[in-house]
Copies of this chain bind each other. A is one copy, B any other.
Amino acid sequence: MYIETSKRSLIKGVSWRFVATTTTIIIVYVFFGRLDLAIAAGVLETFAKIFLYFFHERIWQRIKFGRQRIDPFNLWFTGLPLSGKTTLADAVFSELKKSDIPLERIDSKDIRDVIPNVGFEREERHRHLTRVGHLIKTLQNNSVSSIASFVSPYKESRQVINDMTNNYVEVYVKTSLETCKQRDYKGVYQKALSGELKNFTGISDVYDDPESPHIIIDTDTQSIEQATATIVQFVKKHYMP
């Protein structure tokens, strides 16, 4: 994010006034052939327009038309491990980032890398997500929207996120357990099945299916491009000017 210093605005204003006045002088001279009067008209125009521009700006300050408050959203991807949340959320992020709105990508893995040793028991998961909710809320206070991807298996955790944040959009990445198991490129389902990984969602811990998600993506039937387009369209329609 850049800001314009007042020095820059001043010089830019003077530079525009120079171009504008010179144009007027040339036009008047071409029409009437009197350079002295053309210059006098130009000088008068300069002074008149400095004041007029000022009042024009002040009047527009009071006009609300076309002014829109940025209303940050919280796009929340939930689903089984390896259901495709991160891939999809990354694709949506790249697409929405083009619009130049303040936007942050928050992924379960990144947060757990920063704050290691967070457990996977029900209570620990819930506390962890409450912290994530606080992070998103703080970003929203500063007009920043977020795209978050977390397994977030429990109904109560998603409810807390919904309560803490504004414009919560729940995206349920609905991939069958069979498909997730087949995708097991990290070998995590294998470890969960053998008992090496405890409290593993879908195997040794529950996943509460979302009851009324805003968007359901069935990765067994939808391509990533189709799914991305659906989500981007939803966000643009509801939360982007």
The residue on B at minimum CB distance from A23 is B48
A138 to B148, CA, bound (A): 13
Q: Are A114 and B130 in contact (CB under 8 A)?
A: yes
Q: Are B141 and A115 in contact (CB under 8 A)?
A: no
- The stretch from A61-69, A169-177, A178-186 touching chain B is A61-69
- The stretch from A1-9, A193-201, A209-217 touching chain B is A1-9
Q: Are B16 and A53 in contact (CB under 8 A)?
A: yes
A174 to chain B, nearest CB (A): 29
Q: Are A114 and B134 in contact (CB under 8 A)?
A: yes
Chain A 1-42 interface 0/1 with B at a Cβ cutoff of 8 Å (1 = within): 111110111011001100110011001100110000100110
Q: Are B44 and A40 in contact (CB under 8 A)?
A: no
A138 to B241, CA, bound (A): 25
The answer to whether A48 and B27 touch (CB under 8 A), given A1-B143, A32-B37, A131-B115, is yes
Q: Are A5 and B56 in contact (CB under 8 A)?
A: no
Residues on B with beta carbons closer than 8 Å to the beta carbon of A4: 66-68
Residues on B with beta carbons closer than 8 Å to the beta carbon of A66: 4-5, 7-9, 11
A67 to B7, CA, bound (A): 9
Interface residues on chain A, number (Cβ under 8 Å): 56
A52 within 8 A of B: yes
A43 to chain B, nearest CB (A): 10
The residue on B at minimum CB distance from A142 is B144
Q: Are B142 and A67 in contact (CB under 8 A)?
A: no
- The residue among A12, A68, A70, A138 with the most chain B CB atoms within 10 A of its own CB is A138
Residues on B with beta carbons closer than 8 Å to the beta carbon of A11: 65-66
User: Among B12, B16, B68, B130, which residue has its beta carbon within 8 angstroms of that of A115?
Assistant: B130
Residues on B with beta carbons closer than 8 Å to the beta carbon of A130: 114-115
The answer to whether A41 and B31 touch (CB under 8 A), given A102-B142, A142-B142, is yes
What are 22 A-B contacts defined by CB distance under 8 Å? A3-B67, A3-B241, A4-B68, A5-B66, A5-B67, A5-B68, A8-B66, A8-B67, A11-B66, A23-B48, A24-B24, A27-B41, A27-B45, A31-B37, A31-B41, A32-B32, A102-B143, A106-B138, A114-B134, A135-B138, A138-B139, A139-B142
